[in-house]
A and B are shown apart, each in its own frame.
Chain A
Amino acid sequence: MYFSGSLLTTEEPPGREGCAVVLGQKPRSAAQQRHSVTATVSKMAGADGDDSLYPIAVLIDELRNEDVQLRLNSIKKLSTIALALGVERTRTELLPFLTDTIYDEDEVLLALAEQLGNFTMLVGGPEYVHCLLPPLESLATVEETVVRDKAVESLRKISQEHSPVDLEVHFEPLVKRLASGDWFTSRTSACGLFSVCYPRVSSTVKAEIRQHFRTLCSDDTPMVRRAAASKLGEFAKVLEPEYVKSDIISLFTALASDEQDSVRLLAVEACVSIATLLPQEDLETLVMPTLRQAAEDKSWRVRYMVADKFSELQKAVGSEITKNDLVPAFQNLLKDCEAEVRAAAANKVKEFCENLPEDNREQIIMTHILPCVKELVSDTNQHVKSALASVIMGLSTILGKDNTIEHLLPLFLAQLKDECPEVRLNIISNLDCVNEVIGIRQLSQSLLPAIVELAEDAKWRVRLAIIEYMPLLAGQLGVEFFDEKLNTLCMAWLIDHVYAIREAATCNLMKLVEKFGAEWAQNTIVPKVLGMANDPNYLHRMTTLFCINALSEACGQEITTKQMLPVVLKMSNDQVANVRFNVAKSLQKIGPVLDSNALQTEVKPVLEKLATDSDMDVKYFAQEAISVLALA
C-alpha cells in the first residue's frame, strides 16, 4: 500500500540522546493522577461509612458530567447504577433516559451499546429483555459505524434471550422498522439482524424477512447495498436450501455485477459462504460464472479481493473446480497488471499450493505455479517481492528436498540479495521452514552478507527488525557459527545511536543467554557488557545497567553477585544523575536474584546513600528500591 503523509514515511528515531532523560523520568504524574469519582466516593464513604447511596448518586449525576471521561466512567458502571435502582426503575426511568442520550461522544455511545448487550438480568430477565430494544434501536441509527456495529452486536446477543413470541412481537418489528427507515444508517443496521431472527419466526414472517432483505440488496444508497452484500453469506446460511437457490443466488448475481466497485468486491466474500452451502453439482452453474467474472473484473479492487480470499474460495469450491478453474485464475492474478493484486496473490502462494489436491499437487506447482513465482522474484514492485518473500520458503516443505535445492534455492538466494531490505528480512524471518528440509548450511554463505548488510542499514527500523530475528537465527545456525560471525554485530548494536536499537539489543542478549546458557554468557557477553561501565559516554554506561537488568535473571545468582553487582555498586558514584537513579532502579530489579547477605551488606548501604542524594529523582528511585526490596 502507498501511504502518504509524513507520519509514516519519515525516518524519526523514537529516542536519541535527549530522550534518555525522558525515559529515566519517574511516573510522578501517573501516581498522583486519581480519578475524581473514586476520590470523592472514597472520601465520602470514609466520612459516613453506611451511606451506600452516595457513590451511586455520584455515578448517576456524572452520566451527564461535562467531562467525557467521567461520563464514560459512569456508563461503564451502568450495571452498578441499574442494580441500585432495581429492575422496575431501570426499565421505567433509566432506559428511557438512555434512549434519548444519543447526542453523546462516540466512545460514550460505544460503551453504552456494549453495556446494554449484557443488561438482560438487570431489567428483570428474559421476560423483560425487550425493554432494551428502544435504546439499542436509537444507537443503531447513529452515524458512527463502530457504534452502530456494536449496537447491532448487542441486539444480536439479546435476540437469543427473547422467547419465540417476544421475538415476533417485539424484535422482528424493530428489524422491519430499521429496514424501512428513512436514513441509510438504520437500513444498514437492519442487514445484520435478519439472520438472527429468521430461524426462530413463523413462515409468514420468514417470507417478510426475505422480502426486506431483497429490498435492501437493491437499495438506492451504496452503503446499504454494501451492508447487505457483506451479510449475504451469513443470511444464506440460515435460509432453507430451496430459498438459497431461488433467492440468494439471484441477489448474489445482482450484487456481484453492481455498478459500485465497493459492492462487487463484497460479493466475493459472500461467494465463499454460498459455495459451501450448495451441493457440488450446482456450483458450476450457480456460482462459478460469477466467480470467474470477479476474477477478471475491470476493477483491480475486485480482483484484489478475489486474490485475498483465494484460499477460502479454494476450500469452498473443492478440488475438481480448483484444478480446472482456479489454477488458471490464480496464474492470472499472479501476473495481474496491478501490483496490489499481484502482492495479494503472492501472499497466498503457499496456502494455495498446500491446499491443492495431493495426487497431482507437485505437478501443478512445478508446471503452473512455479514459473509465475520465478517472475515475481524479479517483480518491479517491492511490495510484491516482499509479499512473496514472506511465504516462498514455505514451498520447500511441500516440494521436498530435491526440488527445493534445484528450483527454490536459486530464488531464495536471489531474494536474499534483493535491493529492498524488507524482502531480505522476510526471507530471513522464515528460515526455519528451509532448515527443516535442506538444512541451513546450504544458505549460510549467502545469508551472512545479507544479515551484516541489514544490521548496518541506515534505517533504524530495518536494524530493529533484524535484531528481532537474531535469537531465531542463533538457534538455527548454532553457537559456533554465531560466535564466529554474529556476536560482534550483537555487541555493536548496544552502542547504536538510536535508543530503540540499544533497547532491542539488550532484550536480544537476554534471549541469546536463554538459548545458549549462563556459561556462554559469562565467557562471551558479560565481560563486554561490564566493560562499557567505564565508557566516557553516559548513555553507554546506562546501557550496561539496562543489560544487567535484562541478564541478571538468565545468568543466575552467582554471576549476578560476583560479576555484575560490584559494577552496579561502583556506578552509584557516577557523576551523571541519570546513571545514578538507574543504578537504584537496577538494584531494585536484580535484588530478587541476590541472596540476603549481599542485599544487607552491599546493596543496602549504597541505596541509603543514594536516598540522600542531592538529585530528587535519584532520591525517589532509591527510596522506591528500598521499600520494594524491604530494606528499610
Chain B
Amino acid sequence: MEEESDTRKINNSFLRDHNYATEADIISTVEFNSTGELLATGDKGGRVVVFQREQESKSQPHRRGEYNVYSTFQSHEPEFDYLKSLEIEEKINKIKWLPQQNAAYFLLSTNDKTVKLWKISERDKRPEGYNLKDEDGRIRDPSTITSLRVPVLQPMDLMVEATARRIFSNAHTYHINSISVNSDLQTFISTDDLRVNLWNLEITDRSFNIVDIKPANMEELTEVITSAEFHPQQCHTFAYSSSKGSIRLCDMRLAALCDKHCKYFEEPEDPATRSFFSEIISSISDVKFSHNGRYLMTRDYLTVKVWDLQMENKPVETYQVHDYLRGKLCSLYENDCIFDKFECVWNGSDSVIMTGSYNNFFRMFDRNTKRDVTLEASRENSKPRAILKPRKVCVGGKRRKDEISVDSLDFSKKILHTTWHPHENIIAVAATNNLYIFQDKVN
C-alpha cells in the first residue's frame, strides 16, 4: 500500500523554496484532527496553519483529498520573562485537537511555557443597518432620526476566525515538551522536563502538579521527562517517557499525586553494545498509545519499539529506523544531530508505524507483514500524483543504482514530525519548511 502512495502538493504557497526559507518557517509540529478533515501545523514563528480537506464534488471526484489552507493565525508571540531574564520562544511545540463539540473547531497549541486553547469558527453573515449612520458610513443628523432600525443579518463571504479562548500559563518552570487531552474531555496534561501538570480545560488559574521528578538537589538530576500521553480510552491512565529510555505508566485513581508509577517499561541494556553514546541514543523522544489502547510505541534515536501494556520487561517489537547510522554516532554527536527528537505515529488501525529519518527520508513498518519501506519527501518527486519510489541506503561496499550511500545523506534535512489520518491512508510529513501530504492511490 505505501509503495503505491500518491503525492500531491497541497498548497503552492506553502511549498516555499528551502533555500529562501527563514528559521521561522520551519514546521515544528503537525497533527490531524479526530475526523481527518482538518490538519494543523505549527512552526517556529509561532504560527498555526490549519488545512481543510476539500469536499468531494461530482465534477472532479479525484480532487477529494486535497487539503487547502483554512485558517492561519499567530498562536504565540516571542516573550521575555523579566523575572528570570529569559527569552521565551514563540515556537509551537505541540498541537492537539479537541473532539468537535459544536460547529466550531478547537485545538490546543503550546510553546515552551504557555498552552492556548484556540477556537476556529466560521462566520457567513454580518449585521447591516445602522441608526446613526448612512449606508455609506456618513453620520446622520440626530434630528432626522424618526424611527429605529434593528440590524438585519445578511449573508457575506465565508470568514474563518481563530480566537484564543483560554490561556493556560504560569505553571511550567521548564520547557513544555508535550500536551495530551484526556478521554474524559474535561482535562489535559502539559508536561515539561521535570513535571506533569493536570488542567481542567475550563479553568486557567490553577493546575495540579501530578508528577514531579525534580530532585531536591539539582546536581543529582539524572533523568528528565521527554514526553507524556493519556491513554485513549482509560481516563485515569497516562504514560510518560524519560531520557533514560524507560516509560512509566501512572494510574490517577490510586492517588492524587502520581509520583509513584504503577508500571515501568524498560529493556535491560545489552552490555555488549554499550558505548559512550548508549545513554544518549536510548533517550525516548516520543511515546504514543495505539488507538486501541493496548500498546505503547516509543521512538529513540535509532529504533521504534512497541510495548504491550501487559509486558514491562521488554518491547514486543523493535524496528530499526536507520541502523546504518550506528557507525556514525561520533560525527552525529559532533554536529548535535544525535539530540534530534524524532516523533512516531500509528496508522488508523495500528497496523503500520511511521517515523522520520534524515535526508528527507521517512520510514514505514508494517507490523503484520513485517515489511518496511523508506520513502523520500522531496520536491523533485512530489509532482502531483507521482508515485513515491522506495529508497535504499547502502552501507559500504558497492553502491547499486538508485541507492544512496550513508556518507552522502544530508543530515540537515530531517523529518521529525509526521501525522497519519485517523481512518484513511493519508499522511502528512513535515520536512523542514515544507509540508507534504501523501495518500493511497485513488482507484
Contacts and interface: CB of A to CB of B under 8 A. Distances in A.
B150 A260 contact: no
A60 B256 contact: no
A183 B184 contact: no
A185 B102 contact: yes
Contact of A183 (B102, B142, B146, B150): B102
B303 interface: no
Contacts of B257: 2
Nearest to B169: A5
Contacts of A145: 202
Contacts of A58: 131-132
A300 B254 contact: yes
A376 B159 CA distance: 60
Given A64-B151, A259-B234, A261-B236, A54 B256 contact: no
B150 A4 contact: no
* Interface class of chain B by DSSP: loop
A606 B314 CA distance: 87
Contacts of A47: 142
B213 to A, nearest CB: 14
B272 interface: no
A391 B197 CA distance: 31
B171 interface: yes
B251 to A, nearest CB: 8
Contact of B127 (A51, A64, A144): A64
Contacts of B233: 259
A453 B254 CA distance: 37
A6 interface: yes
Given A259-B234, A338-B255, A4 B207 contact: yes
B86 interface: no
B102 A61 contact: no
Contacts of A89: 148, 150
B235 A143 contact: no
A143 B106 contact: yes
A8 B142 contact: no
A339 interface: yes
A53 interface: yes
A3 B206 contact: yes
Interface string B40-72: 000000000000000000000000000000000
Contact of B207 (A5, A143, A339): A5
B398 interface: no
Contacts of A64: 127, 151
Interface stretch (A92-100, A352-360, A460-468, A568-576): A92-100
Contacts of A61: 130-133
Nearest to A4: B209
Contact of B142 (A5, A44, A340): A44
Interface string B96-113: 000111111010000000
A43 to B, nearest CB: 10
B244 interface: no
A299 B236 contact: yes
Nearest to B104: A143
B153 A222 contact: no
Interface in B209-264: 209, 233-236, 252-257
B359 interface: no
B151 A60 contact: yes
Contact of A184 (B101, B153, B256): B101
Nearest to A145: B202
B142 A54 contact: yes
A64 B126 CA distance: 10
B150 A85 contact: yes
A33 B100 CA distance: 42
A63 interface: yes
Contacts of B207: 3-5
A186 B102 CA distance: 8
Interface in A192-233: 221-223, 226
Interface string A6-50: 111000000000000000000000000000000000001001100
Interface residues of B, number: 52
Contacts of A8: 206
B148 A53 contact: yes
Contacts of B184: 222, 260-262
Given A5-B207, A54-B145, A222-B184, A298 B253 contact: yes
Interface string A170-189: 00000000000001111000
B183 interface: yes
A340 B257 CA distance: 10
A583 to B, nearest CB: 37
A222 B186 contact: yes
B185 interface: yes
Contacts of A226: 186
A611 B195 CA distance: 59
Interface string B366-387: 0000000000000000000000
A60 B150 contact: yes
Contacts of B206: 3, 5, 8
A338 B256 contact: yes
A141 interface: yes
Given A5-B170, A339-B256, A60 B148 contact: yes
Interface string B132-163: 11000000001101111111110000000000
B60 to A, nearest CB: 28
Nearest to B173: A6
Interface string A246-272: 000000000000011110000000000
25 contacts: A1-B208, A3-B207, A5-B206, A51-B143, A51-B145, A57-B132, A57-B142, A57-B145, A60-B150, A84-B148, A85-B150, A103-B123, A142-B102, A183-B100, A183-B101, A185-B102, A186-B102, A221-B185, A222-B185, A259-B234, A261-B252, A262-B235, A298-B254, A337-B254, A337-B255
Q: Give 9 closest A-B pairs by Cβ, nearest first.
A: A299-B253, A57-B131, A4-B209, A93-B150, A183-B102, A5-B171, A5-B170, A185-B102, A340-B256
Interface of B: 99-104, 106, 119, 121, 123, 125, 127, 130-133, 142-143, 145-153, 165, 170-171, 183-186, 195, 197, 202, 205-209, 233-236, 252-257
Given A53-B146, A57-B142, 11 more contacts: A6-B170, A53-B147, A54-B145, A60-B131, A60-B149, A60-B150, A63-B151, A100-B125, A143-B101, A223-B186, A260-B235
